[in-house]
Amino acid sequence: MLIFRSGNRFTNCTGIERRSVLYAGSLGLAGLSLPDVLAAEDSAAGSPKGPSKKSVIILHLDGGPPQMDLIDPKPQAPVELRSPFRPISTNVPGVQLTELMPRCAQIIDRLALLRSLVGSDGKHHAFQCQSGYHEKVLRAAGGRPALGCVVNHLFNSPVDQVPNFVDLMQGRPLVRNSARPGFLGPSVKAFRPDISDRWHRELEEGMKGELARLGKNHKTSLRMIDEISVSRLDNRLELLRGLDRFKKQLDSSGAMEAMDEFHQQAYRVLTSGTFADAMNLDAESPEMVAHYTPKTKWGGKQTYTTEGPDAIQKFLLARRLIEAGVRVVSLSLSDFDTHADNNIRMQHLGPMFDFGFHALITDLEQRGMLEDVLVLAWGEFGRTPKYNEKGGRDHWPKLSMGMMAGGKISGSAVLGASDKLAAEPTERPISFADVIATIYQHLGISPQRIIYDSSRRPHVLMDEGEVLEELA
């Protein structure tokens, strides 16, 4: 557990100016999980060279968004299957969205629509959206790692003042540990701040037990208190150094040398104040907060797991973290698992997603960040063209949707096409692995790079998937 306190700057016993800090668990740094979060082993091929501003924000539409109700309108579908949401024109001739997406329609010339995603694992979490792979791939070795964990593995440095990978996902993706380190091991797991005090997402009853079984280290508390000074933290770090020096005399593998560096990095992240400042939305200008705050209420039906319009401010937090130097941020927006009352629930969810995505893209553009930041929104699968007896749409792994912006996307790109029901691809099937490989390319990481698991066995980073050249 980490508890940050944002306060006045002062100088510690080393003469380095620090921010007044944080309680780091009853054992001090010895009890932190953050060194494990930040610890990474360089690939045998070497870490990527030189500084890079390239980063990515992955937005998970938790539950599986209905493609035909958002980005792939099918007005010619039979009336009993047709979406009630009419097609609307965008600022690119010939490209239409549904009426739930009027704001994104105004900036479609800066977006890419993925209308033919195929190969969903059909699993109800975000792992495939974080890794590009089915859950069972390389399970014997620990499973494939999430993209952000790979970035941790390749880019982490003892001088970092912010984590490279921050996971803000809530609800199902959090409970089911979607952003997993896989075969790279726990040293590169996501830094997962607890944001539930600001954005509550009620869990389904069955998931409460799942989350409890994951233990206290599944997420990190960031509440403000005055329990430990930086000078005391310095003393504890020095004690750990002494213990590590003793242990290193008994360790010929070099692991203790590495752990000493990881503790140093954890200390820098905790005491620099950079990360705590980025997490503090109260420091944002009122004008920018207003940019991410809807001025009208939407209709439709909400369930007890549905997030309110204030959830859009999570998009603002993601931008602040990227601006502070985080390379990968994942977040989620619930509750697209519309097995009942799909149409009336989408009257709330569709406009909320539309508002948030538009707010984020236009903010990044105004700040001159859009070329460096790739933004992706998608879910674990699509939804059935046919309604069930509850007026809902069920899981549909045969076809999924996605939206992207930033990076090299300089004009509207509609990738792929589907049949008249938005049920099957008719042009250019695109896999989840294709999209993740494209993100790696954007980050300056070759998808064909060799990485090693914890047993030193080599693996091609993406032995599935091809880079989508229009987007990378």
Is the residue at 423 inside a domain? Answer: yes
- Is residue 230 pLDDT above 70, yes or no? no
Is 383 in contact with 67 (CB distance < 8 Å)?
yes
CATH of the domain at 426: 3.40.720.10
For 268-299, write each residue's pLDDT tens digit. Answer: 676 678 988 999 999 999 999 999 999 888 88
- 78 CB neighbour count, 10 Å cutoff: 11
Q: Which of 35-49, 244-258, 450-464 has the highest mean pLDDT?
A: 450-464
Is the residue at 9 inside a domain? Answer: no
- How many domains does the chain contain in total? 1
Is the residue at 335 inside a domain? Answer: yes
- Is residue 435 pLDDT above 70, yes or no? yes
Average pLDDT of the chain to the nearest whole number: 84
As beta bridge partners, residue 444 has none
Is the residue at 368 inside a domain? Answer: yes
pLDDT at 264: 61
Is the residue at 227 inside a domain? Answer: no
Is 463 in contact with 440 (CB distance < 8 Å)?
no
pLDDT at 238: 55
Is the residue at 245 inside a domain? Answer: yes
Is 165 in contact with 131 (CB distance < 8 Å)?
no
- Of 403 and 253, more confident: 403
- Helix or strand run (H / E) with residue 233: helix 230-249
- Is residue 227 pLDDT above 90, yes or no? no
pLDDT at 177: 94
For 69-109, write each residue's pLDDT tens digit. Answer: 999 999 999 999 999 999 999 999 999 999 999 999 999 99
CB-based contacts of 161, cutoff 8 Å, min separation 6: 268, 269, 272, 274, 275, 325
Domain span at residue 374?
Answer: 29-191+234-460
